[in-house]
Structure 1
Amino acid sequence: MFPKTHLTIAAGATVLVAATVLMSPSSNVEAKRMSYALDLEQGSVSAPAKGPASADEQNSGEVKTDTASSSAPTSGEKGQTEATVAAAPSEPALDWQAFEIKSGDTLSSLFKAAGFNDGIMLSVIHGEGDADKLQRLYAGETIRFASDDQGKLAAVELQRNRLKSLKVSRTDDGFKGQILTREPEARPMFASGVIDDSLYASARAAGLNDKLTMELTDIFGWDVDFVYDVRKGDRFEVVYQDLYLDGKKLGTGKILSARFINRGDERLALLYTDDAGNSDYFTPDGKSMRKAILRTPIDARVSSPFNLQRRHPVLGVVRPHEGTDYAAAPGTPIKAAGSGRVISAGRKGGYGRAVVLQHGDGITTLYAHMSRIARGMKAGSRVKQGQTIGYVGSSGLATGPHLHYEYRVNGRPVNSRTVKLPDAKPVPSSEMAQFRKVADQRLAQFNVFEGREQQLAMAEEE
């Protein structure tokens, strides 16, 4: 027989243990718990994936608790603990200051305006990653400084534009910079028009901006001279991208597909990006829209055409004009008509300062009367199509600033404005299957837009 006091204590302990077991969550309940991370800066709540239980826990089914939680808290302690957990943020709140960068501002002056000295600034720009890029500032950008609750610098954010920013954050080891890029949402759009006066006027009336119109002329400019060949009644149809960010229009992207009908001759171009990430326009059967040689190496008007019976304006005698002259302002860049090798670069008699390039298939091009020749142009050096090789001038026998451009095949002068230009490389056979898939998608999209346009036109006529 135990004393009555002992029995009373034992009964009380039994009740306490039973209550503790009933109040403790089972292993099944514990496995369904999920903690949420609250991002105060972004204003978002995220639920991280729950990690699996350890092997010992899975095998034993026991719920491990620490010593402090082994005894049941009082009602007052429990309420206080819950209130503390609910009030504790996952990240400390930061105080942000923003400044719009103006002409004359320096990184040092901006740091001082935010309340930080040059020592802090040097610690930031000497940080890891892209931190040093913070030194390149441009007027119109926005820079923000974040301070923690102790007034220490926690982060610096430089907003380059709506898509790109640089953020330098404090870490345990100092500061670390990272470039952040946002991708806009691309929405396909369609525009079409009939040329009445000029392509630019008709394109604008159809809703195309100048950027897209220039891109359209670049795509078809290899076959169509948009200064001399375009006629009233020519038509164009374009599928292009509108870019949106946060639901607001940001601008326009690339042309995805386009059709141009010039004097009844139809041309269709489709955008394709190869395995190396290079994008270009091709016909539906994989031929490049580009040519190996540019029709014109400069954006300017023709001042004197190719004419083998022309009277020379300086010498006053009949002398064949074996090239085409383009009048342009002094200093206008001159582009290499095609990729190739420099044969000569320097003074060349009446041509003045001139560059001669060797291309494939016996083709050579000459660029004369330059004010100066671009750096790196010397015999034997390689050039790429579109690369600047010199600048318009009036050196040599010239009455004014212009480019004299010659196109020769096996040494024989040919009219560069009418010669059939060699094609650029088509889609390689190794990528033809992939290209056909993309081309089918582009054509299907084009046909859907075109069908809708026709339905709208029919509805308006009714």
Structure 2
Amino acid sequence: MTAPQTGTERRQRLKNLREAALHRPVLARHLSNGFNGRWSRRQWVQASLFATLGMLVASIVPGFDVTPVQGLQGTRQSMALTLPPLPVSQSEATPGDSWQVVRVQPGQTLGALFQQMGVPATTMYRILEQPGARQALTRLRPGTELAFDLPLDGPLRAFRFDRDNDHRVELTIKPDAIVENVIKRPSETRTVVASGEISSSLYAAARKAGLSPGAIATMTGEIFQYDIDFTDAQKGDRFSVVYEQIWREGERIGTGNIAAATFTTGGKTYSGFRFEHEGKVGYYTADGRPLKKAFIRMPIPYARITSGFSKARKHPVLGRTRAHQGVDYGAGTGTPIHAAGDARVSFVGWKGGYGRTVVLDHGKGYTTLYAHMSRFGKYKPGQSIKQGTVIGYVGSSGLATGPHLHYEFRIGGVHRNPLTVTMPPPEPLKGAALAAFRAQTGPALARIQQVEDIMYAKVEPASEPAPAKADKKA
């Protein structure tokens, strides 16, 4: 048993404990031991560890301060959400409320489409038996619209399709019969102006301006073919066209006639206006002169000339020197040959060294001859034909060394050079016809002028202010 300590011993023990506590190493003192103004790598690691622990504690502890609220009482409200609409075929079976319009996809057949809509093939065959239905429905093009009246529970009630551009057919399907209702589809004609400037090609510029390929062909091949060589169209040339657009139910379905057109090239503007005179439709200049010339100089467009008109030439077959009273155009066998002008067919047949020959009488003493054909066109002597009609095809019949066309132009029976002869000018409009022409074409010309003034308006450079005059000294 240990003896109780005296007061002196207790005081000595407390003194020893205090001295031991003063000499005990602590973290702060340990961190500062050996500090010379720069932290060691070990000190940096320890400081980073304590900083990370402090941030972690600060982020976790506040979460324990939230006291869950139990038993909150409040008013509950419900909100109706809009659901996607049901397919038309699943809507109520009320007549007229379940039409489904579908578009024919590329490669899709009528049978596949009916199967897709859940309509039996027997119903499809009944529809095809209707007048005009088979022709319209068996030649479906991609994008064609067909409509099915399908109730929720029941067979097909009605079917709708377009017989042509102007008529829509609606078939009501009954168990014992099909009732047809043909609906006239009204269309609207709008007159618009398209204008453009050539940057790469005429075709590209015209398509960009909204012209259809048919309208471009009319402008180049009918209106301006006698005055402009479009193969030489250059950058900066421009055109304007007044034409008809055909609209139906807000959709443009086609184009109509060109009422007027202008083409500016080489600093000169050519114009053409559509006008009907004496039952014939043609294009005229602004002063009422027909754009269509009485004759075209080349019966074969873009053909090469192999022998020109001359007073003396050695014949390649006979070997004798004699006049060549026509122009030879070299072309491949079978190339179409066109009538140089409106005419009556005077002769068709074999004509000595000319071989297969056609002679046309254009009236007023003008005749043309076409020789060495391989075969003739579809016409008979005495028949009237239009300018540009194919009267035959290039060949080498008669005295010919190769396929070509021998073309002669005669005035009063005298041979003339078709490449240089002055062609007779067309008869201009006169009197009442001219007055009607001007009244009809005036608005079209004004619309073209208005559009071009906007599109091709020249921006005048801003004028610089005149320099101030210096004050004169007295």
Shift of 1:122: 7.1
Task: Give the SS at the match of 2:457.
Answer: helix
Aligned to 1:284: 286
Cα deviation per residue 1:269-318 (whole Å; 9 max; x = unaligned)? 22335595x54211222111112223333323232353123433344443
Letter in 1 for 2:168: K
Aligned to 1:318: 321
| Residues 351/424 of structure 1: CA separation in 2 closer, same or farther (3 Å cut) | same
Letter in 1 for 2:339: A
Where in structure 1 are there 5+ consecutive unaligned residues? 1-86, 195-199
State the distance in 2 between where 1:123 and 1:342 align: 51
Letter in 2 for 1:383: I
Aligned to 1:169: 170
Aligned to 2:240: 238
Task: Give the SS at the match of 1:396.
Answer: coil
Where in structure 2 are there 5+ consecutive unaligned residues? 1-91, 465-474
Letter in 2 for 1:418: T
Map of 1:301-450 to 2, 5 A cutoff? Answer: 301-308=303-310, 309-375=312-378, 377-427=379-429, 429-450=431-452
Q: Is the 8 A contact 1:295 1:337 kept in 2?
A: yes
Q: Is the 8 A contact 2:246 2:256 kept in 1?
A: no
Q: Is the 8 A contact 1:290 1:423 kept in 2?
A: no
Q: 2:196 aligns with which of 191, 209, 226?
A: 191
State the distance in 2 between where 1:155 and 1:168 align: 8
Q: Is the 8 A contact 1:240 1:253 kept in 2?
A: no
Letter in 1 for 2:346: I
Shift of 1:387: 2.1
Q: Is the 8 A contact 2:201 2:233 kept in 1?
A: no
State the distance in 1 between where 2:350 and 2:186 align: 48
Letter in 2 for 1:91: G
Letter in 1 for 2:96: E
Aligned to 1:197: none
Counting matched residue pairs gives 360
State the distance in 2 between where 1:320 and 1:223 align: 32
Shift of 1:188: 0.6
Shift of 1:322: 2.3
Q: 1:93 aligns with which of 98, 103, 118?
A: 98
Cα deviation per residue 1:117-141 (whole Å; 9 max; x = unaligned)? 58965765553xx657537737657
Answering whether residue 201 of structure 2 is matched by residue 220 of structure 1, we say no
| Residues 113/148 of structure 1: CA separation in 2 closer, same or farther (3 Å cut) | closer
- Highest CA radius of gyration, 1 or 2? 2
Shift of 1:414: 1.6
Aligned to 2:301: 299
Q: Is the 8 A contact 1:145 1:155 kept in 2?
A: yes
Letter in 1 for 2:328: D
State the distance in 2 between where 1:156 and 1:250 align: 19
Task: Give the SS at the match of 2:275.
Answer: strand
| Residues 341/144 of structure 1: CA separation in 2 closer, same or farther (3 Å cut) | same
| Residues 461/407 of structure 1: CA separation in 2 closer, same or farther (3 Å cut) | farther
Same amino acid, percent of matched pairs = 32
State the distance in 1 between where 2:341 and 2:120 align: 54
Task: Give the SS at the match of 1:319.
Answer: strand
Task: Give the SS at the match of 1:421.
Answer: coil
Map of 1:12-161 to 2, 5 A cutoff? Answer: 91=96, 93-96=98-101, 98-100=103-105, 102=107, 121=125, 124=128, 127=131, 133-134=135-136, 137=139, 142=144, 144=146, 146-149=148-151, 150-152=154-156, 154-158=158-162
Shift of 1:361: 0.7
Q: Is the 8 A contact 1:242 1:249 kept in 2?
A: no
Cα deviation per residue 1:94-131 (whole Å; 9 max; x = unaligned)? 3455545759x7x889888885658965765553xx65
Q: Is the 8 A contact 1:234 1:260 kept in 2?
A: no
Q: Is the 8 A contact 1:370 1:393 kept in 2?
A: yes
State the distance in 2 between where 1:203 and 1:460 align: 36
| Residues 225/455 of structure 1: CA separation in 2 closer, same or farther (3 Å cut) | closer
| Residues 159/359 of structure 1: CA separation in 2 closer, same or farther (3 Å cut) | same
Q: Is the 8 A contact 1:344 1:379 kept in 2?
A: yes
| Residues 132/437 of structure 1: CA separation in 2 closer, same or farther (3 Å cut) | farther
Task: Give the SS at the match of 2:297.
Answer: coil
| Residues 156/274 of structure 1: CA separation in 2 closer, same or farther (3 Å cut) | farther
State the distance in 2 between where 1:450 and 1:316 align: 61
State the distance in 2 between where 1:301 and 1:203 align: 23
Cα deviation per residue 1:225-264 (whole Å; 9 max; x = unaligned)? 667xx69899654334495868888787665444456777
CA RMSD of aligned residues (A): 4.5
